[in-house]
Amino acid sequence: MRRLALTVGEPAGIGPDICLEVARQPPAGVAITLIGDITLLRARASQLGYEVSLVPLAPGVPAASLPNTVSVRHVPLARLPDAGRPLPVNAPALLETLNVAVSGCLDGHFDGLVTAPLDKGVICDAGVPFSGHTEYLAGRTGTEQVVMLLVAGALRVALATTHLPLRQVPDALSVSGLTGTVRILAHDLRRRFGIARPHIAVCGLNPHAGERGHLGREEIDVIAPAIAAAVAEGIDVTGPLPADTLFTPSRLEPFDAVLAMYHDQGLPTLKYAGFGQAVNVTLGLPIVRTSVDHGTAYDLAGSGRANAGSLRAALDLAATLGTG
């Protein structure tokens, strides 16, 4: 039985809805513990018409295994929000759900963490700097460098930079940073995904991968040296390749993963290919962590129309990822 912690995310969004839906009918061989405010979850379950028993779970107690019975590690909110109306005053409690989940994974109570979506802006509006789950979890686990990987079926796209304004991306790229990213990607493709010798494609930053320096020198000065360093370590990596043609079936076929230079270089293609079923995986952490490929969808909260497909996929993948 794989024991997974599932944080409910932004309480005014669809996180509680989809968490309740999947927790009522978890994947085979998976025990789910919801981490959030049990009063909110009970109210949302009633609003959605779900017949489910939510049971408070104390540390060290096994998760519930009866049908329609869901274990909850209660983390109280400052105020219960209405569906679709987020409250910045709840920001500390939202971060505490992550703290509780990470601690549970590190102490062996959980085998992995799955996260429902948070709203970065709401947390920042509370005066708490927050650039996303990926960066926060790196800090909580003392991990120097992590890599964001999105998975949609056989397509895996990792990011060299994550949530940055586009004008900051070139300055955020370095030979050592890119080499470290490739190293983590290759290592976790082996450790987590069981790929014995992963083959990685690396995108260029500029159109046509810089046209030999005529459209920018990042490929020559940063990306190619990083690839050479990774190859010298025995990693099977190819690039820099033009991103506009790399994301075609025939070009992708030889590769186990693609490393894109920035968020909107790699993720539009992946989400087009698998939106609603794609999964966000954080590589480099000492724990397994997956998440959904979408946001809080305030307009759907409490309506019963939210699609839990990506969350189910995140749970399924977390249950299969290696931990060694």
Same domain as 148, residue 271? yes
How far apart (Å, rounded) are the C-alpha atoms in residues 300 and 14? 6
pLDDT digits (tens, 9 = 90+) for 260-311: 999 999 999 999 988 888 999 999 999 999 999 899 999 999 999 999 999 9
Question: Does residue 324 carry a pLDDT above 80?
Answer: no
120: its two tokens: 């970065």
Angle between helices 15-24 and 309-320 (to 10 degrees): 60
Question: Same domain for 149 and 259?
Answer: yes
176 and 96 assigned to the same domain: no
Question: Do 3 and 96 fall into the same domain?
Answer: yes
Same domain, 105 and 214: no
Are 100 and 154 contained in the same domain?
no
Regarding whether 233 and 302 lie in a shared domain, the answer is no
Q: Tokens 């991990």: give the residue.
A: 143
List CB contacts of 102: < 8 A, sequence separation 6 or more: 113, 137, 140, 141, 287
* Lowest mean pLDDT segment, chosen from 64-78, 231-245, 250-264: 64-78
Count the domains in the chain: 2
Q: Are residues 232 and 305 in the same domain?
A: no
User: Is-contact 155 251, C-beta < 8 A?
Assistant: no
> Cβ distance 319 to 26 under 8 Å?
no
pLDDT at 126: 95
Q: What is the CATH number of the domain that holds 216?
A: 3.40.718.10
| pLDDT attached to residue 258 | 98
Confidence of residue 63 (pLDDT cuts 50, 70, 90): low
Range of the domain at 248: 144-284
In a shared domain, residues 280 and 297: no
Q: What is the DSSP letter of 213?
A: T
Q: What percent of the chain has pLDDT over 70?
A: 97
Tell me: pLDDT of 65 over 70: no
pTM tops 0.85, yes or no: yes
